[in-house]
């Protein structure tokens, strides 16, 4: 079974491995994680085509020529577009007369993005709308996102989340992880982790600062651990392992990895109701999700600070988000049936 992956790539001139290891490029790294996991499954051959520009028409034309050449040489059974929008539309053009198309939708490719212009929103959603009609399979990360597809396509869309590297969170030691980060924290302090690496206006750092002050005023010893700047993926995992509570206060999100990884680190979860957080943290006993209110959220922090890690969130995360399990779902529930149908038609 041969799969050609088309992924958005924002670092021209750098190797895939360099970007994967050192550059905070969420769109590309999300795709790389699942591709790496699929690579371990017997009988699957893969190629990656990185789409370096999604706005320059001349660059897009040259990329289309190169991608079609690769598809003719590889003869893929499936072409998989990781993210819809222009990336999915481009993949649709590559897939024409070459192979069935699968499209993964992550959030802003179907949802309205308040930080983007009306024109960019129109292009993103318009491209995704067209692409969804030509795809053999549309995959969404949540039931809420599936509801954004045209009504007559929802029934046949598949829903499963992005996976995470569960092994990276096994055997965590708060003391060792803090030492790796060069931090000294009072052993009795509750570590609140806040991901401010991108778009601090949307992430609402101001709300986090208010929450820390309110929880401290109620007698809780708080250590705010804020991820910002050039945190690598490895450093982010170490910080999450060291934390007690993961706090997400954004105005909007797609599928925030920090929630899935926080659960795998057995952290408590406190979040605004954005993206697929409700689906992700479903049945998690040490979690609170709702509209932001500093007094209510600080009361929750006070309560959760008295409830130590007990393994409950880690068990849920291992069952739902293990990358190997997600990769097997892709092969068995998506690629396999499409490939079999293609072979049947050829006969």
**Taking residues 3-16, what's their average pLDDT?**
72
Task: Grade residue 68 by pLDDT with cuts at 50, 70 and 90.
Answer: very high
Axis crossing angle, helix 312-321 with helix 257-264, rounded to the nearest 10 = 130
pLDDT tens-digit profile of 199-252? Answer: 667 889 999 999 999 999 999 999 999 988 667 778 889 999 999 999 999 988
Q: Which domain holds residue 112?
A: 2-163+322-346
326 shares its domain with 309: no
CATH of the domain at 32: 3.40.50.2000
12 and 127 part of one domain: yes
Res 275 pLDDT > 60 = yes
pLDDT single digits (tens) 188-199 = 999 999 987 666
Indicate if the alpha-carbon torsion angle 299, 303, 306, 312 is positive or negative.
negative
Mean pLDDT of the 273-279 span: 89
pLDDT > 70? residue 13: no
DSSP state of 6: E
188 with 313, same domain: the answer is yes
Among 4-18, 82-96, 107-121, the least confident range = 4-18
pLDDT computed for residue 26 by the predictor: 57
- Confidence band for 16, pLDDT divided at 50, 70 and 90: low
24 and 95, same structural domain?
A: yes
User: What pLDDT, on the 0 to 100 scale, is given for residue 317?
Assistant: 94
Is there a single domain that holds both residue 146 and residue 216? no
Based on the domain organization, do 89 and 205 belong to the same domain? no
Residues 187 and 153 in one domain: no
Task: Report whether pLDDT(166) > 80.
Answer: yes
- Based on the domain organization, do 233 and 98 belong to the same domain? no
Q: Which of 84, 173, 77, 96 is nearest to 121 (CA)?
A: 84
Mapped onto helix, strand or coil, the DSSP state of residue 41 is coil
- Report yes or no: 221 and 186 within 8 Å, Cβ to Cβ: yes
On whether both 97 and 156 belong to a single domain, the answer is: yes
314 and 182 both lie in a single domain: yes
* CB-CB contact of 70 with 99 (8 Å): no
Residue 303 has a pLDDT of: 97
Distance of CA 96 to the CA centre of its chain: 28
pTM of the model: 0.81
**Same domain flag for 6 and 155:** yes
Please name the residue ranges forming H helices in the chain. 16-22, 26-39, 57-74, 85-95, 118-134, 143-146, 151-154, 174-180, 200-203, 205-217, 233-242, 257-264, 277-280, 294-304, 312-321, 323-329, 336-346
Q: Tell me the pLDDT band of 147, cut-offs 50, 70 and 90.
A: confident
**Which is more confident, 45 or 26?**
45
Q: How many CA atoms lie within 13 A of 60 on its CB side?
A: 13
Task: Tell me, yes or no, whether 146 and 227 share the same domain.
Answer: no
Number of domain units in the chain: 2
């Amino acid at each position: 079974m041969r799969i050609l992956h088309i992924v958005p790539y924002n670092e021209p001139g750098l190797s895939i491995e360099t970007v994967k290891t050192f550059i905070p490029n969420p769109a590309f790294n999300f795709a790389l994680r699942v591709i790496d996991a699929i690579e371990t499954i017997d009988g699957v051959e893969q190629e990656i085509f990185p789409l370096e520009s999604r706005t320059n028409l001349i660059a897009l034309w040259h990329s289309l020529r190169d991608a079609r050449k690769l598809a003719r040489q590889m003869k893929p059974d499936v072409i998989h577009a990781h993210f819809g929008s222009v990336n999915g539309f481009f993949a649709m053009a590559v897939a024409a007369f070459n192979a069935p198309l699968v499209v993964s939708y992550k959030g802003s490719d179907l949802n309205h993005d308040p930080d983007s212009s009306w024109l960019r929103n129109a292009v993103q959603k318009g491209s995704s709308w067209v692409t969804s009609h030509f795809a053999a399979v549309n995959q969404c990360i949540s039931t809420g996102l599936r509801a954004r597809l045209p009504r007559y396509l929802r029934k046949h869309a598949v829903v499963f989340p992005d996976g995470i590297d569960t092994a990276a969170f096994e055997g965590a030691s708060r003391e060792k992880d803090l030492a790796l980060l060069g931090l000294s924290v009072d052993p009795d302090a509750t570590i609140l982790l806040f991901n401010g690496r991108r778009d601090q206006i949307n992430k609402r750092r101001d709300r986090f600062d208010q929450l820390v002050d309110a929880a401290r005023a109620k007698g809780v010893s708080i250590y705010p651990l804020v991820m910002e700047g050039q945190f690598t993926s490895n450093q982010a995992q170490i910080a999450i392992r060291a934390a007690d509570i993961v706090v997400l206060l954004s105005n909007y999100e797609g599928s925030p990895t920090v929630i899935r990884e926080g659960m795998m680190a057995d952290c408590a979860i406190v979040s605004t109701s954005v993206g697929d957080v409700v689906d992700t943290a479903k049945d998690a006993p040490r979690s609170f999700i709702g509209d932001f209110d500093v007094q209510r959220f600080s009361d929750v922090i006070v309560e959760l600070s008295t409830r130590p890690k007990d393994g409950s969130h880690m068990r849920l995360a291992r069952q739902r988000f293990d990358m190997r399990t997600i990769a097997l779902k892709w092969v068995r529930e998506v690629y396999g049936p499409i490939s079999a149908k293609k072979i049947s038609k050829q006969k």
